[in-house]
Amino acid sequence: MKNQLHKILFSIVLGFVATLALAEDGYRLWLRYEPVSDASIASDYRKQIGSISSSQSSPTFNLALAELQNGLDGLLGSDRSKKGPSILLGTPAGNPEVAKLDLDLSALGDEGYLLTSVPQKRKHQIVIAANTDQGLLYGVFAFLRHLQTQQPLDGINVASSPKIDHRLLNHWDNLTRTVERTMAGASIWNWFDLPYYVEPYTHDYARACASIGINGTVLTNVNANATVLRPQFLEKVAALADTFRPYGIRVYLTARFSAPVEIDGLETADPLDPAVIKWWTDKIDEIYTYVPDFGGFVVKANSEGQPGPQAYGRDHADGANLLARALAPHGGFVMWRAFVYDFEVKEDRHKQAYTEFTNLDGKFEPNVSIQTKNGAIDFMPREPFHPLFGATPETPHTLELQITQEYLGGDVHLAYLAPMWKETLEADTYARGAGSTVAKVVDGSVFGHELTAIAGVSNVGNERNWTGHPMGAANWYAFGRLAWDHQLSSEQIADEWTRMTFGNEESVVSTTNQILLDSHQTVVDYSMPLGLHHIMYPGHHYGPGPWHDQGRPDWTSIYYHRASEDGIGFDRTASGTDALGQYAPEVVAKWGSPETIEDKYLLWFHHLDWDFKTKSGQTLWNEICLAYQKGVDAVGEMREQWASLEGQVDAQRHARVTALLKRQHEDAAFYRDACLAYFQTFSKRPIPAGVTPPEHDLEYYKNFELYHVPGHPGEQW
């Protein structure tokens, strides 16, 4: 009896251990390397893939080799060497076998790669080749992605190189380890332990970034703290830079413009003052003694209380050039943010950045890029593209996208953002005629700029699954893939991520892809449809607040929706603020009329009567109500779709997504009810059939309070 009890207990323990081993918490992201599930495909792979042939060595090459070995062992098992030809991995300069093949790698540059197969006796040999070890690392990840998504190897011939040179994550991380606008936990930079101890997950972060081609990381918040420029912190920055370097990732910092005053007590931070110029020159020289490949600075200046050159009667070019000249000898560059607006200026906030920076075109040093958000306001759930793109032919732009979902429900709501980013990338500026898309402005092809960059505000924290929501990693992945190749489709990226993250079972893939691809429009519908914007709750930005009317006007909601008894929307046409006039004539012709503009931008540019007839034939009031209801219903459909995958997706991640979708559904209904209850006080029209009326009166929604919302800058210190 006793022995039998021991056997039972032992089997329970074994079962528990097995469950733990099989549990998925999301830590591995899209780099899971689970065995290829299709036996036929696995067999075919093993016939074509054996051992690895290589003869090089460097920190980066060794990472590539280890990754390839690890990936193949996980996907195909360690016995494949007996069944297939070896994989040839190398550069022509480092591997004589690769050199003998005389492959044309001339178009690949320093980061591109070639995946191909060459005849070898009676078989074909897979070759992963590049001009540099960095290219090999990217090529290895691309090859493993090819296998993870179960694509055929026969005749493989993939040559790829990045369209944008500098592909960065911007971490809005504070030195206290709080993270502004991110809900995925604390900062992954453990500043207090650095440089003595580098968290092991720091390597995993770098590996994940390298797997999607990200080659830069800005460690600190744009609302900058000058302390990071002190020697004690530069030692810490150096420890991170040393960790990232083999992965091809350079570190960048945010520069607080008043640092000379705050750190060394200078009387001024005037960018034309000789003492200030010397201070920054010496400081940047010092940084490079710690980090020889330091990338440069991101600067937020004269915006939302941040210090800047205008305090001294100087302009943004004066400020940017001060830093650029000191960085130039070291190969660094400056990303000077265009997110500037002043509530004392009575001009439409939409117009202010364009006004300031077009007047400075041609005045910036060659190593300055204007870092410009996708839209002119502030990462709204949907915005028309920023009019600055295409408007500064002599100055390059760094496109700034927000991966973290500041206005899209944080890490609670499921919102796949590739479709939103593609709207911006594919938008035509007409700067040099039709086809001058934002993507081509940013990649330098419209104006011939050599400095090209794109930045994504990171959604990464120290949550075990990195991004809080199990689906949030899709946006980290999508940003990297689009930064490498902006021509990839949202559908392709979603399909890759789903297969690598959840497996290749077709029902899982098709259902998850559909959820992802519909999710962004769903969030827009239940929060800010038809071009409504900036009607979120003040401060933490989680949830609705269309009634907000306190404080500086351009931080209120009423400034933007302009609801009244005569209608709703912001007139930005020639009869209003004429912000539309900052776009090319072809854009003005399309967006200048409510009859020709797409519904998604309707109220962004037009103030319309509640009874205006929309393209669907509904009145504007009914259209707004139906959009909110559509969004709520769509979340319900997402819940049903996800529920159908129970048993097909691991229990741990399935349960977490299920719980988050339940909350998202309730939040969506709250957003609908609060907004309709408020806007109905102006429309004075009934809620149309098919739309659920608000559950409570308006005062209930106005008085509802959330406390200690993660990522709220008011809670940071």
Task: Write the DSSP assignment of 446-460 as a string of letters.
Answer: TTT-S--EEEEE---
Paired sense of beta strands 368-373 and 453-457, if any: unpaired
For residues 207-234, give the mean pLDDT: 98
Alpha-carbon distance of 469 to 400, in angstroms, equals 22
Alpha-carbon distance of 247 to 710, in angstroms, equals 31
Residues 576, 536 contacting (CB under 8 angstroms): no
Alpha-carbon distances, residue 100 vs 104, 112, 118 (angstroms): 12, 20, 12
Residues 254, 218 contacting (CB under 8 angstroms): yes
Specify the 3-state DSSP secondary structure of 100: helix
Which tens digit of pLDDT belongs to each residue from 680-703? 999 999 999 999 999 999 999 999
* Catalytic machinery residues: 304, 378, 406
For residues 416-436, give the mean pLDDT: 98
Of the chain, the percentage scoring pLDDT greater than 90 comes to: 94
Alpha-carbon distance of 131 to 350, in angstroms, equals 45
The token pair at 373 is 């958000």
Residues 47, 40 contacting (CB under 8 angstroms): no
Residue 3 binned pLDDT confidence (cut-offs 50, 70, 90): low
The token pair at 73 is 């062992």
The token pair at 326 is 């000191």
Cα 260 from chain centre: 32
| pLDDT value of position 81 | 73
| pLDDT value of position 123 | 82
DSSP 364: S
Which tens digit of pLDDT belongs to each residue from 120-130? 877 889 999 99
Which tens digit of pLDDT belongs to each residue from 62-72? 999 999 999 99
For residues 33-50, give the mean pLDDT: 95
| pLDDT value of position 477 | 99
Which tens digit of pLDDT belongs to each residue from 331-384? 999 999 999 998 888 899 999 999 999 999 999 999 999 999 999 999 999 999
| pLDDT value of position 19 | 38
For residues 320-337, give the mean pLDDT: 98
In the chain, the domains with their CATH numbers are: 37-159 (3.30.379.10), 166-490 (3.20.20.80), 524-570+607-715 (3.90.1330.10)
Residue 716 binned pLDDT confidence (cut-offs 50, 70, 90): low
Alpha helix stretches (DSSP H) within 305-369: 316-327, 349-358
Closest CA to 357 of 327, 396, 385: 396
Residues 354, 347 contacting (CB under 8 angstroms): no
Angle among Cα 101, 33, 205 to the nearest 5 degrees reads 95
- Mean pLDDT estimate for the chain: 95
Alpha helix stretches (DSSP H) within 215-370: 231-244, 259-264, 274-290, 316-327, 349-358
**How many CB atoms lie under 10 A from the CB of residue 420?**
27
Alpha-carbon distance of 145 to 501, in angstroms, equals 11
Q: Kind and range of the H or E element at 628?
A: helix 620-643
Specify the 3-state DSSP secondary structure of 474: helix
Q: Establish whether the linkage from the previous residue to 195 is cis, with ω within 30° of 0.
A: yes
The token pair at 113 is 């790669």
Least confident piece of the model among 42-56, 218-232, 325-339: 42-56
Which tens digit of pLDDT belongs to each residue from 133-171? 999 999 999 999 999 999 999 999 999 999 999 999 999
| pLDDT value of position 148 | 98
Alpha-carbon distance of 314 to 360, in angstroms, equals 12
Which tens digit of pLDDT belongs to each residue from 544-572? 999 999 999 999 999 999 999 999 999 99
Alpha helix stretches (DSSP H) within 568-619: 585-591, 602-605
Alpha-carbon distance of 429 to 434, in angstroms, equals 8
Phi, psi torsion values for 17, nearest 5 degrees? -60, -40
